Amino acid sequence: MAKLSLPVGTRDHAQGPASAAVTLVEYGDYECPHCGAAYPVVKKIQKKLGLKLRFVFRNFPLNTMHPHAEHAAETAEAAAAQNTFWEMHDWIFEHQDTLEDPDLFGAVKTLGLDTAKFLADMKSPAFLARVKEDFQSGVRSGVNGTPTFFINGVRHDGAPSYEDLLAALQAAIPNV
């Protein structure tokens, strides 16, 4: 049973309270069609479980198969510097077929980010370093494809379908 090598902490992008009954971590690739299919599943589960769930997203770009994934992840990290990680995360997944630089820059404008700051931030190695840090923590945790989910620190080897993932999350919540 694979376990999360890097515990969830303040460095992570998280939705939901730290005190939630269950934490779901996704290692994902913004260009991966399987992650794209899992995106609305996670949204539906978040709505269903509400404050019982904390959701964390970590970058795991598979560059050899998805040439835009790493740059999309950097874009999301640069958006995080302007407190819009989740808005950019959602935009990217909702526009997976348009991840060229002009498309991503269009998202920056659409989301109302400071474009000059964004362009300057994208020249910094810090965001790529953050993406690589996530990737390495995934490798150490036994991630070898995307999406890979961990429930309370233990890898979920079941299907990323709504029914299977919800059942696994509910089983991990005390008194449900």
Pairing type for strands 53-59 and 154-156 reads unpaired
Find all residues with CB under 8 Å of 28, minimum gap 6, and list them: 35, 38, 57, 58, 59, 60, 146, 147
Contact 30, 135 (CB under 8 A): no
* Distance between CA atoms of residues 65 and 72, nearest Å: 14
pLDDT value at position 22?
98
- Residue segments in the chain with a per-residue pLDDT below the cut of 70: 176
pLDDT value at position 136?
98
Domain 13-172 class, CATH top level: alpha beta
Q: What is the pTM of this model?
A: 0.96
Instruction: Reduce the DSSP state of residue 28 to 3 states and report it.
Output: strand
Over residues 141-173, the pLDDT tens digits come to 999 999 999 999 999 998 899 999 999 999 999
Find all residues with CB under 8 Å of 74, minimum gap 6, and list them: 122, 127, 128, 131
Distances from the Cα of 66 to the Cα of 102, 110, 118, angstroms: 17, 24, 23
pLDDT value at position 174?
82
Q: Give domain limits for the chain.
A: 13-172
* Distance between CA atoms of residues 23 and 21, nearest Å: 7
pLDDT value at position 176?
54
* Distance between CA atoms of residues 138 and 169, nearest Å: 20
